[in-house]
Amino acid sequence: MKYSNPIQIWEAALGSLELQVSRPSYATWLKGTVGLFFNDNKMVVGAPSSFVAQWLEQRMSSLVEATLSQVTGQPATIRFQVLTEPSLHTVNQMEPQALPAQLIRPANGRAASNEPRSIKLNPKYTLDSFVVGESNQLAHAAAVAVSSRPGIAYNPLFLYGGVGLGKTHLLHGIGHASAGKGLSCLYVSSEQFTNEFITAIQLKRTGEFREKYRSVDVLLMDDIQFMRGKEAIQEGFFHTFNDLHNSNRQIVIACDRPSSALAPLEDRLRSRFQWGLSADIRMPDIETRKAILEVKASSMGVGVPDKVLDLISEHFLSSIRDLEGALNRVCAYADLTDQPLGLDLAYQSLGDLLTTKQKKRPSAEVVISRVCVFYNVDAQALRSKRRDKKVTFARQVAVYLLRELTNMSLKDIGFLVGNRDHTTIRHAWAKIVEDKDSNSALKAQLGALYEDIEDSLSE
Smallest gap, in angstroms, from Cβ of residue 22 to Mg ion?
A: 33
Q: Which is nearer to ligand ADP, 259 or 396 (CB)?
A: 259
Q: Which is nearer to Mg ion, 168 or 396 (CB)?
A: 168
The edge-to-edge listing of strands for the beta sheet with 218-222 is: 185-189, 218-222, 250-255, 157-161, 277-281
Q: Enumerate binding residues for ligand ADP (CB under 6 A).
A: 125, 130-131, 136, 161, 163-169, 292, 320-321, 324
By a kind-dependent CB cut-off of 5 to 8 A, residue 166 interacts, out of ligand ADP, Mg ion, none, with ligand ADP
Q: Which is nearer to ligand ADP, 290 or 426 (CB)?
A: 290
Q: Which is nearer to ligand ADP, 200 or 262 (CB)?
A: 262
By a kind-dependent CB cut-off of 5 to 8 A, residue 163 interacts, out of ligand ADP, Mg ion, none, with ligand ADP
Please tell me what DSSP assigns to residue 28.
I
In the bound state, the residue with its beta carbon closest to Mg ion is: 168
Cβ proximity of 82 and 49 under 8 Å: yes
Q: Enumerate binding residues for Mg ion (CB under 5 A).
A: 167-168
Smallest gap, in angstroms, from Cβ of residue 120 to ligand ADP?
A: 13
By a kind-dependent CB cut-off of 5 to 8 A, residue 165 interacts, out of Mg ion, ligand ADP, none, with ligand ADP
Smallest gap, in angstroms, from Cβ of residue 190 to ligand ADP?
A: 13
By a kind-dependent CB cut-off of 5 to 8 A, residue 169 interacts, out of Mg ion, ligand ADP, none, with ligand ADP
Q: Which is nearer to ligand ADP, 167 or 395 (CB)?
A: 167
By a kind-dependent CB cut-off of 5 to 8 A, residue 9 interacts, out of ligand ADP, Mg ion, none, with none
Distance CA 180, CA 128 (A): 13
Residue 234 φ/ψ, nearest 5 degrees: -60, -40
Smallest gap, in angstroms, from Cβ of residue 225 to ligand ADP?
A: 11
Contacts for 11 with CB less than 8 Å, ≥ 6 apart: 35
Burial of residue 43 (CB within 10 Å: 0-12, 13-18, 19+) is buried
Q: 270-306 burial, b for 16+ CB within 10 Å, e for fewer? A: bebbeebbbbbbbbbeeebbbbbbbebbeeeeeebee
Q: Which is nearer to Mg ion, 256 or 437 (CB)?
A: 256
Smallest gap, in angstroms, from Cβ of residue 18 to ligand ADP?
A: 24
Q: Which is nearer to ligand ADP, 130 or 154 (CB)?
A: 130
Burial of residue 167 (CB within 10 Å: 0-12, 13-18, 19+) is buried
By a kind-dependent CB cut-off of 5 to 8 A, residue 131 interacts, out of Mg ion, ligand ADP, none, with ligand ADP
Smallest gap, in angstroms, from Cβ of residue 123 to ligand ADP?
A: 11
Distance CA 372, CA 51 (A): 46
Distance CA 439, CA 62 (A): 30
Helix, strand, coil percentages (3-state) for the chain, rounded to 5, are 60, 10, 30
In the bound state, the residue with its beta carbon closest to ligand ADP is: 166
Smallest gap, in angstroms, from Cβ of residue 295 to ligand ADP?
A: 6
Distance CA 429, CA 404 (A): 9
Q: Which is nearer to ligand ADP, 131 or 402 (CB)?
A: 131
- Count CA within 13 A, CB hemisphere, residue 432: 23
The CA-atom distances, in angstroms, between 278 and each of 87, 141, 158, 281 are: 37, 12, 5, 10
Smallest gap, in angstroms, from Cβ of residue 124 to ligand ADP?
A: 7
Smallest gap, in angstroms, from Cβ of residue 228 to Mg ion?
A: 16
By a kind-dependent CB cut-off of 5 to 8 A, residue 321 interacts, out of Mg ion, ligand ADP, none, with ligand ADP
Q: Which of 97, 80, 96 is nearest to 35 (CA)?
A: 80
- Taking residue 197's Cβ as centre, other Cβ atoms within 10 Å add up to 25
Q: Which is nearer to ligand ADP, 163 or 343 (CB)?
A: 163
β-pairing, 34-39 vs 42-47, is: antiparallel
